[in-house]
Amino acid sequence: MARGDKDKYTDKQKRKAEHIEEGYKEQGVSEEEAERRAWATVNKDSGGGNKSGSGRGKPDTNVSAKKGGRLGGEAAARRPAAARSTSAKKAAATRKRNAAH
């Protein structure tokens, strides 16, 4: 299999990569970089191309999909309650000021 050849990937893996690539493009990532990241994610989730061999490969782990939600809010949670409260009050004041304009 030549480098970059996607023949050994299942249709599901190809669809998954396409969907991930679209998401990166929406975030403003270049087309080439979005494609590279998408296939890296598919490879991480499923262990690479699955078409040949007995049992047709390993099941997807979806580790990359689970990662995002778990990381959310982690940095804020490490900050002291007083710092979070001050931040929240400042944000509320900014929203109130902006709404007045």
So where are the chain's domains? 11-50+74-100
- Name residue, tokens 């804020």: 76
pTM of this structure: 0.58
Cα distance between residue 64 and residue 67, in whole Å: 5
What ranges in the chain are assigned the alpha helix state H?
11-26, 31-46, 63-71, 74-78, 81-100
Question: Using 50, 70 and 90 to split pLDDT, how confident is the model at 55?
Answer: low
- 86 is written with which tokens? 């001050």
Contact of 37 with 20, CB cutoff 8 Å: yes
Question: Using 50, 70 and 90 to split pLDDT, how confident is the model at 75?
Answer: confident
- 7 is written with which tokens? 């023949």
